[in-house]
Structure 1
Amino acid sequence: MKNAIITGGTKGMGRAITIALVKQNINVSICSRNAAELDAFKTELLVVNPQIKVFTTVADCSILAELKNFAEFTEKNMGFVDILVNNVGMFKPAAILDDDDESYQKQMDTNLRPAYELYRFFGKSMVSVGKGHIFNICSVAGLHPIPEAGVYSVTKYALVGLNEVMKLEMQPHGVKVTAVIPGSTYTDSWKGAAVDTNRMVLPEDVASAITNILNMSNGANVDEIIIKPTFGQI
Protein backbone atom coordinates (compact mmCIF):
# COMPACT_ATOMS: atom_id res chain seq x y z
CA MET A 1 0.00 0.00 0.00
CA LYS A 2 1.40 3.40 -1.02
CA ASN A 3 1.75 6.48 1.20
CA ALA A 4 0.96 10.08 0.24
CA ILE A 5 1.47 13.45 1.92
CA ILE A 6 -0.78 16.36 0.94
CA THR A 7 -0.37 19.93 2.17
CA GLY A 8 -3.57 21.82 2.88
CA GLY A 9 -5.63 18.66 2.68
CA THR A 10 -9.01 19.64 4.13
CA LYS A 11 -10.31 22.18 1.62
CA GLY A 12 -10.67 22.75 -2.10
CA MET A 13 -8.30 20.86 -4.35
CA GLY A 14 -6.42 19.33 -1.40
CA ARG A 15 -9.60 17.81 -0.04
CA ALA A 16 -10.66 16.40 -3.42
CA ILE A 17 -7.16 14.99 -4.05
CA THR A 18 -7.06 13.36 -0.62
CA ILE A 19 -10.44 11.66 -1.13
CA ALA A 20 -9.38 10.45 -4.58
CA LEU A 21 -6.14 8.96 -3.21
CA VAL A 22 -7.97 7.22 -0.38
CA LYS A 23 -10.31 5.65 -2.94
CA GLN A 24 -7.16 4.38 -4.68
CA ASN A 25 -6.24 2.54 -1.45
CA ILE A 26 -3.42 4.97 -0.60
CA ASN A 27 -2.60 5.99 2.97
CA VAL A 28 -2.59 9.75 3.50
CA SER A 29 -0.95 12.30 5.76
CA ILE A 30 -2.61 15.72 5.68
CA CYS A 31 -2.27 19.02 7.46
CA SER A 32 -4.47 21.99 8.17
CA ARG A 33 -4.46 24.96 10.53
CA ASN A 34 -7.79 23.78 11.96
CA ALA A 35 -7.76 20.77 14.30
CA ALA A 36 -11.54 20.30 14.26
CA GLU A 37 -11.59 20.17 10.44
CA LEU A 38 -8.78 17.60 10.45
CA ASP A 39 -10.59 15.36 12.94
CA ALA A 40 -13.87 15.53 11.03
CA PHE A 41 -12.17 14.86 7.69
CA LYS A 42 -10.22 11.92 9.11
CA THR A 43 -13.50 10.32 10.23
CA GLU A 44 -14.97 10.91 6.77
CA LEU A 45 -11.97 9.37 5.02
CA LEU A 46 -12.06 6.24 7.14
CA VAL A 47 -15.71 5.78 6.19
CA VAL A 48 -14.76 6.10 2.52
CA ASN A 49 -12.04 3.46 2.95
CA PRO A 50 -11.64 1.73 6.34
CA GLN A 51 -8.56 -0.15 5.06
CA ILE A 52 -6.27 2.86 4.81
CA LYS A 53 -4.39 4.86 7.44
CA VAL A 54 -4.95 8.59 7.92
CA PHE A 55 -2.44 10.79 9.73
CA THR A 56 -3.19 14.41 10.57
CA THR A 57 -1.09 17.33 11.79
CA VAL A 58 -2.13 20.83 12.75
CA ALA A 59 0.28 23.03 10.81
CA ASP A 60 0.51 26.39 9.10
CA CYS A 61 2.71 25.53 6.12
CA SER A 62 3.90 29.14 5.83
CA ILE A 63 5.72 28.70 9.16
CA LEU A 64 8.88 26.69 8.58
CA ALA A 65 9.00 25.02 12.00
CA GLU A 66 5.41 23.79 11.65
CA LEU A 67 6.03 22.58 8.10
CA LYS A 68 9.11 20.61 9.20
CA ASN A 69 7.18 19.14 12.11
CA PHE A 70 4.53 17.94 9.65
CA ALA A 71 7.20 16.33 7.45
CA GLU A 72 8.97 14.66 10.38
CA PHE A 73 5.68 13.40 11.86
CA THR A 74 4.71 11.94 8.48
CA GLU A 75 8.02 10.15 7.95
CA LYS A 76 8.01 8.79 11.50
CA ASN A 77 4.50 7.35 11.21
CA MET A 78 4.38 6.40 7.54
CA GLY A 79 7.91 5.49 6.64
CA PHE A 80 8.60 5.91 2.94
CA VAL A 81 6.40 8.50 1.20
CA ASP A 82 5.59 7.47 -2.38
CA ILE A 83 3.56 10.53 -3.33
CA LEU A 84 4.10 14.18 -2.43
CA VAL A 85 1.33 16.64 -3.34
CA ASN A 86 2.41 20.25 -2.87
CA ASN A 87 -1.05 21.76 -2.80
CA VAL A 88 -1.13 24.46 -0.13
CA GLY A 89 -1.43 28.00 -1.43
CA MET A 90 -3.09 31.37 -1.02
CA PHE A 91 -4.55 33.85 -3.49
CA LYS A 92 -4.45 37.55 -2.72
CA PRO A 93 -5.84 39.90 -5.38
CA ALA A 94 -3.77 43.07 -5.52
CA ALA A 95 -1.54 44.90 -7.99
CA ILE A 96 2.06 44.89 -6.79
CA LEU A 97 2.16 48.69 -6.45
CA ASP A 98 -0.97 48.64 -4.30
CA ASP A 99 -0.09 45.59 -2.18
CA ASP A 100 0.78 45.73 1.50
CA ASP A 101 4.35 45.31 2.77
CA GLU A 102 3.81 41.81 4.15
CA SER A 103 2.15 40.31 1.07
CA TYR A 104 5.28 39.28 -0.83
CA GLN A 105 6.85 37.30 2.01
CA LYS A 106 3.57 35.74 3.13
CA GLN A 107 2.73 34.48 -0.38
CA MET A 108 6.27 33.24 -1.02
CA ASP A 109 6.19 31.38 2.30
CA THR A 110 2.80 29.84 1.43
CA ASN A 111 2.92 29.27 -2.33
CA LEU A 112 6.57 28.40 -2.93
CA ARG A 113 8.61 27.55 0.16
CA PRO A 114 6.57 24.51 1.32
CA ALA A 115 7.13 22.81 -2.06
CA TYR A 116 10.86 23.61 -1.90
CA GLU A 117 11.28 22.39 1.68
CA LEU A 118 9.24 19.19 1.29
CA TYR A 119 11.10 18.37 -1.91
CA ARG A 120 14.37 18.63 0.00
CA PHE A 121 12.97 16.58 2.88
CA PHE A 122 11.44 13.68 0.91
CA GLY A 123 13.36 13.85 -2.36
CA LYS A 124 16.52 12.15 -1.13
CA SER A 125 14.67 9.05 0.08
CA MET A 126 12.84 8.86 -3.27
CA VAL A 127 16.20 9.01 -5.07
CA SER A 128 17.64 6.31 -2.79
CA VAL A 129 14.94 3.79 -3.80
CA GLY A 130 14.43 5.02 -7.37
CA LYS A 131 10.71 5.67 -7.17
CA GLY A 132 8.15 8.25 -6.14
CA HIS A 133 5.92 10.91 -7.64
CA ILE A 134 5.81 14.62 -6.83
CA PHE A 135 2.84 16.76 -7.87
CA ASN A 136 3.10 20.54 -7.70
CA ILE A 137 -0.24 22.33 -7.84
CA CYS A 138 0.62 25.40 -9.87
CA SER A 139 -1.70 27.83 -11.70
CA VAL A 140 -2.20 29.28 -15.14
CA ALA A 141 -1.13 32.54 -13.46
CA GLY A 142 2.32 30.94 -13.51
CA LEU A 143 2.15 30.89 -17.33
CA HIS A 144 0.15 34.06 -18.02
CA PRO A 145 0.35 36.60 -15.19
CA ILE A 146 -2.71 38.22 -13.67
CA PRO A 147 -1.93 41.93 -13.15
CA GLU A 148 -4.72 42.14 -10.55
CA ALA A 149 -2.85 39.48 -8.53
CA GLY A 150 0.76 40.45 -9.06
CA VAL A 151 2.59 38.73 -6.21
CA TYR A 152 0.45 35.62 -6.58
CA SER A 153 1.49 35.42 -10.25
CA VAL A 154 5.16 35.81 -9.32
CA THR A 155 4.97 32.97 -6.79
CA LYS A 156 3.24 30.69 -9.26
CA TYR A 157 5.83 31.48 -11.95
CA ALA A 158 8.45 30.50 -9.39
CA LEU A 159 6.62 27.26 -8.59
CA VAL A 160 6.48 26.29 -12.27
CA GLY A 161 10.22 26.94 -12.43
CA LEU A 162 10.87 24.91 -9.28
CA ASN A 163 8.85 22.06 -10.80
CA GLU A 164 11.12 22.10 -13.87
CA VAL A 165 14.24 21.93 -11.70
CA MET A 166 12.77 19.06 -9.65
CA LYS A 167 11.93 17.17 -12.83
CA LEU A 168 15.45 17.50 -14.22
CA GLU A 169 17.05 16.51 -10.92
CA MET A 170 14.78 13.51 -10.45
CA GLN A 171 14.67 12.24 -14.02
CA PRO A 172 17.92 10.20 -13.84
CA HIS A 173 16.62 8.46 -10.72
CA GLY A 174 13.24 7.32 -12.01
CA VAL A 175 11.27 9.68 -9.76
CA LYS A 176 8.35 11.37 -11.51
CA VAL A 177 7.50 15.07 -11.22
CA THR A 178 4.32 16.65 -12.57
CA ALA A 179 3.14 20.26 -12.68
CA VAL A 180 -0.64 20.42 -12.37
CA ILE A 181 -1.71 23.78 -13.80
CA PRO A 182 -5.39 24.59 -13.25
CA GLY A 183 -7.25 27.60 -14.53
CA SER A 184 -10.26 29.10 -12.74
CA THR A 185 -11.11 26.40 -10.19
CA TYR A 186 -14.00 26.58 -7.74
CA THR A 187 -12.37 26.60 -4.31
CA ASP A 188 -12.86 28.65 -1.14
CA SER A 189 -11.24 31.62 -2.89
CA TRP A 190 -14.44 31.99 -4.93
CA LYS A 191 -16.97 31.53 -2.13
CA GLY A 192 -19.37 34.42 -1.97
CA ALA A 193 -18.67 35.42 -5.57
CA ALA A 194 -21.43 35.32 -8.18
CA VAL A 195 -19.98 32.62 -10.41
CA ASP A 196 -21.45 29.71 -12.36
CA THR A 197 -19.65 26.57 -11.18
CA ASN A 198 -20.68 24.86 -14.43
CA ARG A 199 -18.26 27.19 -16.21
CA MET A 200 -15.32 26.44 -13.93
CA VAL A 201 -12.86 23.64 -13.25
CA LEU A 202 -13.89 21.68 -10.16
CA PRO A 203 -11.50 20.37 -7.51
CA GLU A 204 -12.61 16.86 -8.43
CA ASP A 205 -11.32 17.43 -11.98
CA VAL A 206 -7.85 18.13 -10.63
CA ALA A 207 -8.05 15.08 -8.37
CA SER A 208 -9.13 12.90 -11.30
CA ALA A 209 -6.16 14.09 -13.34
CA ILE A 210 -3.77 13.16 -10.55
CA THR A 211 -5.15 9.66 -10.02
CA ASN A 212 -5.12 8.99 -13.75
CA ILE A 213 -1.50 10.10 -13.98
CA LEU A 214 -0.59 7.89 -11.01
CA ASN A 215 -2.15 4.89 -12.76
CA MET A 216 0.02 5.23 -15.86
CA SER A 217 2.81 2.76 -16.53
CA ASN A 218 6.19 3.08 -14.83
CA GLY A 219 7.73 4.27 -18.08
CA ALA A 220 5.34 7.20 -18.57
CA ASN A 221 5.43 10.61 -16.92
CA VAL A 222 3.18 13.63 -17.47
CA ASP A 223 5.52 16.62 -17.27
CA GLU A 224 2.64 19.05 -16.93
CA ILE A 225 -1.11 19.12 -17.33
CA ILE A 226 -3.09 22.30 -17.95
CA ILE A 227 -6.78 22.19 -17.02
CA LYS A 228 -8.84 25.22 -18.08
CA PRO A 229 -12.56 26.02 -18.04
CA THR A 230 -14.30 25.02 -21.26
CA PHE A 231 -15.51 28.59 -21.93
CA GLY A 232 -12.26 30.26 -20.90
CA GLN A 233 -10.91 31.87 -17.76
CA ILE A 234 -13.21 33.71 -15.37
Structure 2
Amino acid sequence: MTNALITGATKGMGRATAIALAKQGLNLSICSRNAQELSDFKAELKQIAPQIQVFTMVADVSKRDDVKNFAEFTDKNMGFVDILVNNVGMFKPSFILDDSEDSFQKQIDTNLMPAYELYRFFGKRMVSVGKGHIFNICSIAALAPVPEAGVYTVTKYALLGLNKVMKLEMQPHGVKVTAIIPGSTLTDSWRGADVDKNRMVLPEDIADAILTIYKMSPGANVDEMIVTPKYGQI
Protein backbone atom coordinates (compact mmCIF):
# COMPACT_ATOMS: atom_id res chain seq x y z
CA MET A 1 0.00 0.00 0.00
CA THR A 2 0.97 3.62 -0.50
CA ASN A 3 1.85 5.75 2.52
CA ALA A 4 1.35 9.48 3.05
CA LEU A 5 2.38 11.93 5.77
CA ILE A 6 0.41 15.16 6.19
CA THR A 7 1.19 17.98 8.61
CA GLY A 8 -1.67 20.10 9.93
CA ALA A 9 -4.04 17.29 8.98
CA THR A 10 -6.98 17.84 11.32
CA LYS A 11 -8.15 21.14 9.81
CA GLY A 12 -8.62 22.91 6.50
CA MET A 13 -6.63 21.80 3.48
CA GLY A 14 -4.75 19.15 5.44
CA ARG A 15 -7.97 17.56 6.64
CA ALA A 16 -9.52 17.56 3.16
CA THR A 17 -6.34 16.05 1.73
CA ALA A 18 -6.26 13.31 4.37
CA ILE A 19 -9.86 12.37 3.57
CA ALA A 20 -9.19 12.36 -0.17
CA LEU A 21 -6.14 10.12 0.20
CA ALA A 22 -7.94 7.82 2.64
CA LYS A 23 -10.69 7.30 0.06
CA GLN A 24 -7.96 6.18 -2.35
CA GLY A 25 -6.81 3.56 0.17
CA LEU A 26 -3.60 5.26 1.29
CA ASN A 27 -2.17 4.73 4.77
CA LEU A 28 -1.75 7.99 6.67
CA SER A 29 0.54 9.44 9.32
CA ILE A 30 -0.85 12.62 10.84
CA CYS A 31 -0.14 14.82 13.84
CA SER A 32 -1.84 17.58 15.78
CA ARG A 33 -1.34 19.53 18.98
CA ASN A 34 -4.81 18.48 20.12
CA ALA A 35 -5.04 14.83 21.19
CA GLN A 36 -8.85 14.72 21.11
CA GLU A 37 -9.08 16.21 17.61
CA LEU A 38 -6.49 13.69 16.47
CA SER A 39 -8.33 10.76 17.99
CA ASP A 40 -11.68 11.87 16.58
CA PHE A 41 -10.23 12.38 13.11
CA LYS A 42 -8.51 8.99 13.14
CA ALA A 43 -11.86 7.36 13.93
CA GLU A 44 -13.48 9.31 11.08
CA LEU A 45 -10.77 8.24 8.63
CA LYS A 46 -11.09 4.60 9.66
CA GLN A 47 -14.84 4.81 9.13
CA ILE A 48 -14.25 6.21 5.64
CA ALA A 49 -11.61 3.59 4.79
CA PRO A 50 -11.51 0.67 7.24
CA GLN A 51 -8.72 -1.04 5.31
CA ILE A 52 -6.11 1.67 5.82
CA GLN A 53 -3.70 2.25 8.68
CA VAL A 54 -3.76 5.64 10.40
CA PHE A 55 -0.80 6.53 12.60
CA THR A 56 -1.21 9.53 14.89
CA MET A 57 1.09 11.47 17.17
CA VAL A 58 0.49 14.51 19.34
CA ALA A 59 3.09 17.02 18.22
CA ASP A 60 3.62 20.75 17.82
CA VAL A 61 5.48 20.93 14.53
CA SER A 62 6.52 24.52 15.16
CA LYS A 63 9.07 22.90 17.50
CA ARG A 64 12.02 21.28 15.73
CA ASP A 65 12.29 18.38 18.19
CA ASP A 66 8.61 17.54 17.70
CA VAL A 67 9.07 17.56 13.92
CA LYS A 68 12.00 15.17 14.15
CA ASN A 69 10.20 12.92 16.62
CA PHE A 70 7.18 12.77 14.32
CA ALA A 71 9.40 11.90 11.36
CA GLU A 72 11.10 9.11 13.29
CA PHE A 73 7.74 7.86 14.61
CA THR A 74 6.36 7.72 11.06
CA ASP A 75 9.45 6.00 9.68
CA LYS A 76 9.39 3.37 12.42
CA ASN A 77 5.66 2.62 12.30
CA MET A 78 4.69 3.21 8.69
CA GLY A 79 7.90 2.74 6.76
CA PHE A 80 8.57 4.41 3.44
CA VAL A 81 6.61 7.63 2.85
CA ASP A 82 5.47 7.84 -0.77
CA ILE A 83 3.71 11.20 -0.39
CA LEU A 84 4.81 14.05 1.88
CA VAL A 85 2.33 16.93 2.20
CA ASN A 86 3.87 19.94 3.93
CA ASN A 87 0.61 21.64 4.77
CA VAL A 88 0.91 23.10 8.27
CA GLY A 89 0.93 26.88 8.40
CA MET A 90 -0.27 29.95 10.24
CA PHE A 91 -1.60 33.25 8.96
CA LYS A 92 -1.17 36.44 10.98
CA PRO A 93 -2.43 39.72 9.54
CA SER A 94 -0.04 42.50 10.49
CA PHE A 95 2.24 45.07 8.90
CA ILE A 96 5.86 44.22 9.68
CA LEU A 97 6.45 47.53 11.44
CA ASP A 98 3.48 46.90 13.72
CA ASP A 99 4.17 43.22 14.36
CA SER A 100 4.98 41.61 17.70
CA GLU A 101 8.55 40.72 18.61
CA ASP A 102 7.98 36.97 18.37
CA SER A 103 5.97 36.99 15.14
CA PHE A 104 8.85 36.47 12.71
CA GLN A 105 10.34 33.47 14.49
CA LYS A 106 6.96 31.91 15.18
CA GLN A 107 5.89 32.08 11.54
CA ILE A 108 9.27 30.85 10.29
CA ASP A 109 8.99 27.92 12.70
CA THR A 110 5.47 27.10 11.50
CA ASN A 111 5.43 27.97 7.80
CA LEU A 112 8.97 27.00 6.77
CA MET A 113 10.94 24.94 9.28
CA PRO A 114 8.74 21.80 9.32
CA ALA A 115 8.91 21.49 5.53
CA TYR A 116 12.69 21.90 5.63
CA GLU A 117 13.20 19.30 8.36
CA LEU A 118 10.80 16.75 6.89
CA TYR A 119 12.42 17.17 3.50
CA ARG A 120 15.85 16.49 4.97
CA PHE A 121 14.55 13.38 6.74
CA PHE A 122 12.33 11.80 4.08
CA GLY A 123 14.07 13.21 1.02
CA LYS A 124 17.11 11.03 1.65
CA ARG A 125 14.92 7.94 1.77
CA MET A 126 13.14 8.93 -1.44
CA VAL A 127 16.48 9.43 -3.19
CA SER A 128 17.64 5.99 -2.06
CA VAL A 129 14.73 4.26 -3.85
CA GLY A 130 14.20 6.75 -6.68
CA LYS A 131 10.56 7.55 -6.04
CA GLY A 132 8.24 9.73 -3.97
CA HIS A 133 6.23 12.93 -4.26
CA ILE A 134 6.53 16.02 -2.08
CA PHE A 135 3.76 18.62 -2.01
CA ASN A 136 4.41 22.02 -0.43
CA ILE A 137 1.32 24.10 0.32
CA CYS A 138 2.43 27.64 -0.39
CA SER A 139 0.22 30.69 -0.93
CA ILE A 140 -0.65 33.24 -3.57
CA ALA A 141 1.15 35.65 -1.21
CA ALA A 142 4.38 34.03 -2.46
CA LEU A 143 3.64 35.54 -5.89
CA ALA A 144 1.77 38.71 -4.95
CA PRO A 145 3.02 40.22 -1.67
CA VAL A 146 0.42 41.12 0.94
CA PRO A 147 1.82 43.99 3.03
CA GLU A 148 -1.04 43.62 5.52
CA ALA A 149 0.40 40.17 6.29
CA GLY A 150 4.06 41.00 5.94
CA VAL A 151 5.83 38.20 7.77
CA TYR A 152 3.38 35.63 6.40
CA THR A 153 4.25 36.81 2.89
CA VAL A 154 7.98 36.51 3.61
CA THR A 155 7.64 32.95 4.94
CA LYS A 156 5.54 31.84 1.97
CA TYR A 157 8.09 33.33 -0.43
CA ALA A 158 10.68 31.30 1.44
CA LEU A 159 8.61 28.12 1.23
CA LEU A 160 8.18 28.55 -2.53
CA GLY A 161 11.93 29.10 -2.80
CA LEU A 162 12.53 25.92 -0.80
CA ASN A 163 10.16 24.09 -3.15
CA LYS A 164 12.18 25.23 -6.17
CA VAL A 165 15.42 24.04 -4.57
CA MET A 166 13.82 20.71 -3.61
CA LYS A 167 12.66 20.13 -7.18
CA LEU A 168 16.10 20.74 -8.67
CA GLU A 169 17.79 18.63 -6.00
CA MET A 170 15.36 15.73 -6.41
CA GLN A 171 14.96 15.85 -10.19
CA PRO A 172 18.00 13.68 -11.00
CA HIS A 173 16.68 11.02 -8.60
CA GLY A 174 13.17 10.70 -10.04
CA VAL A 175 11.41 12.22 -7.04
CA LYS A 176 8.54 14.62 -7.80
CA VAL A 177 8.11 17.99 -6.08
CA THR A 178 5.07 20.24 -6.47
CA ALA A 179 4.15 23.63 -5.05
CA ILE A 180 0.41 24.11 -4.50
CA ILE A 181 -0.32 27.85 -4.51
CA PRO A 182 -3.84 28.59 -3.25
CA GLY A 183 -5.55 31.94 -3.25
CA SER A 184 -8.26 32.79 -0.71
CA THR A 185 -9.26 29.39 0.68
CA LEU A 186 -11.98 28.74 3.23
CA THR A 187 -9.88 27.52 6.17
CA ASP A 188 -9.78 28.38 9.89
CA SER A 189 -7.84 31.53 8.99
CA TRP A 190 -11.23 33.00 8.02
CA ARG A 191 -13.00 31.92 11.20
CA GLY A 192 -15.42 34.64 12.28
CA ALA A 193 -15.14 36.56 9.02
CA ASP A 194 -18.23 37.36 6.96
CA VAL A 195 -17.32 35.65 3.69
CA ASP A 196 -19.23 33.88 0.93
CA LYS A 197 -17.83 30.38 0.48
CA ASN A 198 -19.05 30.37 -3.12
CA ARG A 199 -16.52 33.11 -3.87
CA MET A 200 -13.59 31.22 -2.34
CA VAL A 201 -11.45 28.18 -3.02
CA LEU A 202 -12.55 25.27 -0.81
CA PRO A 203 -10.14 22.92 0.99
CA GLU A 204 -11.59 20.07 -1.05
CA ASP A 205 -10.44 21.84 -4.23
CA ILE A 206 -6.87 21.72 -3.00
CA ALA A 207 -7.23 18.07 -2.02
CA ASP A 208 -8.59 17.27 -5.48
CA ALA A 209 -5.65 19.10 -7.06
CA ILE A 210 -3.14 17.10 -5.03
CA LEU A 211 -4.84 13.83 -5.91
CA THR A 212 -5.03 14.67 -9.62
CA ILE A 213 -1.35 15.61 -9.72
CA TYR A 214 -0.32 12.50 -7.80
CA LYS A 215 -2.21 10.27 -10.26
CA MET A 216 -0.39 11.64 -13.31
CA SER A 217 1.93 9.38 -15.29
CA PRO A 218 5.34 8.55 -13.79
CA GLY A 219 7.11 10.83 -16.25
CA ALA A 220 5.08 13.98 -15.50
CA ASN A 221 5.79 16.53 -12.76
CA VAL A 222 3.60 19.53 -12.01
CA ASP A 223 6.07 22.14 -10.80
CA GLU A 224 3.48 24.60 -9.50
CA MET A 225 -0.31 24.74 -9.43
CA ILE A 226 -2.07 28.03 -8.75
CA VAL A 227 -5.70 27.81 -7.59
CA THR A 228 -7.50 31.13 -7.03
CA PRO A 229 -11.12 32.27 -6.56
CA LYS A 230 -12.79 32.83 -9.92
CA TYR A 231 -13.90 36.34 -8.85
CA GLY A 232 -10.43 37.24 -7.55
CA GLN A 233 -8.87 37.42 -4.12
CA ILE A 234 -11.05 38.14 -1.09
User: Is 2:17 the counterpart of 1:17?
Assistant: yes
In 2, Cα distance between the equivalents of 1:94 and 1:86?
Answer: 24
Residue of structure 1 equivalent to 2:114:
114
Could you give the per-residue CA deviations for residues 168-218 of structure 1, whole angstroms, max 9, x where no partner exists? 000000000000000000000101100000000000000000000111000
Taking the TM superposition and a 5 Å limit, the aligned residue runs for 1:44-193 are 44-193=44-193
CA deviations 1:2-50 (Å, max 9, x no partner) are 0000001000000000000101111000010000000000000001000
Distance in 1, Cα, partners of 2:191 & 2:103: 21
SS at match of 2:148: coil
Deviation of the 1:142 alpha carbon: 0.6
- Alpha-carbon distance in structure 2 between the residues aligned to 1:167 and 1:7: 20
Separation of aligned partners in 2, 1:58 and 1:191: 23
Which blocks of at least 5 consecutive residues in structure 1 are unaligned? none
Equivalence for 2:219: 219
Task: Give the fraction of aligned pairs with identical amino acids, expressed as a percent.
Answer: 75
- Report how many residues are paired: 234
Q: How far apart are the structure 1 equivalents of 2:169 and 2:125?
A: 13
**1:6 paired residue number:** 6
Distance 1:176 1:114 in 2: 19
SS of 2:220's equivalent in the other structure is: coil
SS of corresponding position for 1:28: strand
In structure 2, C-alpha distance between the alignment counterparts of 1:27 and 1:92, rounded to whole Å: 32
Superposed displacement of residue 70, structure 1: 0.7
Residue 90 of structure 1 aligns to a residue whose secondary structure is coil
Partners of 2:25 and 2:53 lie apart in 1 by 9
Q: CA RMSD in A?
A: 0.4
- Find the residue that maps to 1:155 and give its secondary structure: helix
Residue aligning to 1:37: 37
Q: What is aligned with 1:203?
A: 203
Cα distance, 1:228 vs structure 2? 0.1
Alpha-carbon displacement from aligned partner over 1:153-173 (angstroms, at most 9, x marks no partner): 000000000000000000000
Residue 232 of structure 2: SS of its match in structure 1?
coil
- What secondary structure, in the 3-state scheme, does the structure 2 residue paired with 1:10 have? coil
Q: Distance in 2 between matches of 1:80 and 1:162?
A: 22
Q: C-alpha offsets along residues 91-137 of structure 1, whole Å, 9 cap, x if unaligned?
A: 00000000000000000000000000000000001000000000000
Matched residues in 1 for 2:220 and 2:64: separation? 34
